[in-house]
């Protein structure tokens, strides 16, 4: 037994808006359907005399499978949404019928309701009649006693209108709920039909790795949406729940707290490093963003590393344009450790804050005639921790004391990251000057410090 407030959400639905989505899905299905015969007709039409013949046939089959998956997914989604639109429309029609019957009931019982308690007078017509048509107690009988003749006179018509309204509301809720449940199930099935275009999917990785032109031999930049790399970092001081703190540990903890407070007061030039060290001591282990733009301004080696990454991305954009012919694409570079390029930060603040961090770029590239415009985001990734038997570069303080706090669970290592954006435009064939050569060879990231020096 539903009243009008239970179907308010159905009144407020916009089937026309939902139908636009259904039609877009079906229109997309139609466009794909028109392309399928031409695509399927390519099979067997081209004869290759090349080592790439097998790869061509394989890629063609994969492409047809992808397009067919798109067609089936959009068709199923469009039909599911269209069915739900029809259910919404029917539910709203039932709600309208219920509202009409409820309005007629309100007019019919208005003279009786006017003589009743404030609770009845303030109720909607359905609840008011539900109260009037049945005596539920002595007090209720006293209040309604003077109106019994009037109640009996309208009872048949009032009951019919009450049943019509509540029945329409019940049917509307049932139809909408059943249709929504079915639509969700159908959309879920449609989603499973869609091919996986994720950049880190097995199929995408296979296509990228095996198709010439998508990835060069050294793997510096490759076509695809921005993709974060999988980086591995060392952890020389993992948490040990069985570790027992010693008096020396407590003394060391208090000593470094005093050093932190003193440096915060006296060394504003170490603001980034001190903020990260303070976060380490909280033991939270949550990610922390660094101001990479500030690092670019303040540290010449960070600036050089970023400039080199941008210049490398420009060269890679030209290469990928030549090899693929695409005039608009995204690309992601493989990460490299700055120390492997001889660009470990030179300033104390950034030695402590980032140390040997991984750097890579993600870019949007547009080619217009002989001009290339690239919007690049240069990323820095690191883990803030301490290294066994290493020492701070500036002070010579051993890492072991602060690393011990992580073993005890008093502190915790955490990921640090930062990024900066630049947009550059240049003429094809005029590559950027990297300082007299291609620069140091990039190496794959592994440990966050290769030479034993401290990040923190």
pLDDT band at 350 (very low <50, low <70, confident <90, very high): very high
Please calculate the CA angle 306-233-364 and round it to the nearest 5 degrees.
35
Q: 338 and 357 in contact (C-beta within 8 Å)?
A: yes
C-alpha span between 261 and 267 (Å, rounded): 10
Burial of 265 (0-12, 13-18, 19+ CB in 10 A): exposed
pLDDT at position 69, please?
66
Lowest average pLDDT, out of 82-91, 113-122, 318-327, goes to 113-122
Task: State yes or no: pLDDT of 392 exceeds 60.
Answer: yes
Q: 426 and 321 in contact (C-beta within 8 Å)?
A: no
Residue 220 carries which DSSP code? S
Task: State yes or no: pLDDT of 222 exceeds 70.
Answer: yes
Rounded average pLDDT over 246-258: 95
Task: State yes or no: pLDDT of 437 exceeds 80.
Answer: no
Phi, psi for 337 (deg, rounded to 5): -85, 135
pLDDT at position 362, please?
95
Beta bridge partners of 336: 359
Closest CA to 280 of 152, 120, 402: 402
Residues 6-51: tens digit of each pLDDT? 999 999 999 998 888 888 888 887 887 776 666 565 555 555 555 5
Chain centroid to CA 348? 36
Chain centroid to CA 80? 26
Angle (deg, nearest 10), helices 202-210 and 53-113: 150
pLDDT band at 366 (very low <50, low <70, confident <90, very high): very high
pLDDT at position 233, please?
86
Task: State yes or no: pLDDT of 300 exceeds 80.
Answer: yes
C-alpha span between 337 and 19 (Å, rounded): 52
Burial of 274 (0-12, 13-18, 19+ CB in 10 A): buried
What the block records as the tokens of 206 is: 């296979």
Q: 131 and 147 in contact (C-beta within 8 Å)?
A: no
Annotated domain spans of the chain:
4-193, 217-427
pLDDT at position 58, please?
64
pLDDT, greater one: 191 or 235: 235
* Dihedral, CA of residue 401, residue 404, residue 410 and residue 414, to nearest 10: 90
Sign of CA dihedral 156, 158, 161, 165: negative
Rounded average pLDDT over 382-409: 92
pLDDT band at 209 (very low <50, low <70, confident <90, very high): very low
pLDDT band at 422 (very low <50, low <70, confident <90, very high): very high
Residues 264-285: tens digit of each pLDDT? 999 999 999 999 999 999 999 9
pLDDT at position 48, please?
53
Rounded average pLDDT over 320-325: 88
Radius of gyration of the chain (CA): 35
Rounded average pLDDT over 167-184: 91
C-alpha span between 275 and 391 (Å, rounded): 20
Residue 221 carries which DSSP code? E
Residues 138-169: tens digit of each pLDDT? 445 445 555 677 888 888 999 999 999 999 99
**Residue 391 CB neighbours (<10 A):** 15
pLDDT, greater one: 195 or 411: 411
What the block records as the tokens of 109 is: 């019982």
Please, what is the average pLDDT of the chain? 82
- Highest mean pLDDT range out of 56-70, 295-309, 418-432? 295-309
pLDDT at position 399, please?
92
pLDDT, greater one: 36 or 361: 361
Residues 93-136: tens digit of each pLDDT? 999 999 999 999 999 999 888 888 787 888 898 988 888 876 55
pLDDT at position 301, please?
95
Residue 429 carries which DSSP code? T
Beta bridge partners of 418: 380
Percentage of the chain exceeding pLDDT 70: 77
Q: 420 and 296 in contact (C-beta within 8 Å)?
A: yes
Task: State yes or no: pLDDT of 454 exceeds 50.
Answer: no
Closest CA to 2 of 152, 131, 167, 161: 167
**What's the predicted TM-score (pTM) here?**
0.51
pLDDT, greater one: 188 or 380: 380
336-337 and 328-333 as β-strands: parallel, antiparallel, unpaired? unpaired
Phi, psi for 442 (deg, rounded to 5): -80, 140
- Highest mean pLDDT range out of 53-67, 216-230, 307-321? 307-321
pLDDT at position 434, please?
43
């Amino acid at each position: 037994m539903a009243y009008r407030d239970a179907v308010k959400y159905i009144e407020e639905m916009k089937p026309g808006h939902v139908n636009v989505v259904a039609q877009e899905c079906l229109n997309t299905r139609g466009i794909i359907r028109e392309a399928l015969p031409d695509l399927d007709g390519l099979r067997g039409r081209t004869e290759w005399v090349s080592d790439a013949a097998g790869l061509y046939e394989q890629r063609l089959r994969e492409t047809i499978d992808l397009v067919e998956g798109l067609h089936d997914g959009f068709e199923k989604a469009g039909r599911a949404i269209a069915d739900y639109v029809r259910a919404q429309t029917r539910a709203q029609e039932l709600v309208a019928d219920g509202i009409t019957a409820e309005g007629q009931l309100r007019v019919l019982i208005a003279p009786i309701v006017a003589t009743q308690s404030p609770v009845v007078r303030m109720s909607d017509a359905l609840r008011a009649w539900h109260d009037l048509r049945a005596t539920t107690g002595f007090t209720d009988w006293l209040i309604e006693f003077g109106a019994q003749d009037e109640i009996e006179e309208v009872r048949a018509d009032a009951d019919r209108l009450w049943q019509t309204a509540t029945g329409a509301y019940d049917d509307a809720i049932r139809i909408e709920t059943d249709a929504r449940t079915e639509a969700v199930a159908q959309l879920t099935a449609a989603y499973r039909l869609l091919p996986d275009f994720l950049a880190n999917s097995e199929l995408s990785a296979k296509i990228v790795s095996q198709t010439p032109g998508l990835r060069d031999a050294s793997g510096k930049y490759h076509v695809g949406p921005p993709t974060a790399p999988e980086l591995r970092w060392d952890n020389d001081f993992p948490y040990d729940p069985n570790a027992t703190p010693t008096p020396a540990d407590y003394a060391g903890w208090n000593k470094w707290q005093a050093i932190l407070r003193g440096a915060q007061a006296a060394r504003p030039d170490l603001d980034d490093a001190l903020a990260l060290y303070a976060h380490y001591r909280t033991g939270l282990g949550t990610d922390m963003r660094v101001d990479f733009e500030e690092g670019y301004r303040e540290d010449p080696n960070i600036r050089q590393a970023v400039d080199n990454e941008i210049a490398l991305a420009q060269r890679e954009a030209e290469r990928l344009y030549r090899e693929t012919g695409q005039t608009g694409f995204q690309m992601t570079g493989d990460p490299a450790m700055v120390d492997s390029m001889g660009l470990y930060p030179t300033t104390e603040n950034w030695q402590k804050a980032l140390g040997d961090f991984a750097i890579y770029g993600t870019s949007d590239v547009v080619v217009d005639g002989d001009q290339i415009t690239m919007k690049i985001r240069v990323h820095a990734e690191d883990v803030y921790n301490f290294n066994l038997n290493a020492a701070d570069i500036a002070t010579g303080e051993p890492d072991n004391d602060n690393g011990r706090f992580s073993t005890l669970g008093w502190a915790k290592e955490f990921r640090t990251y930062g990024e900066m954006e630049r947009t550059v435009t240049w003429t094809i064939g005029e590559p950027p000057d990297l300082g007299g050569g291609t620069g140091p060879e990039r190496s794959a990231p592994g440990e966050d410090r290769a030479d034993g020096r401290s990040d923190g």
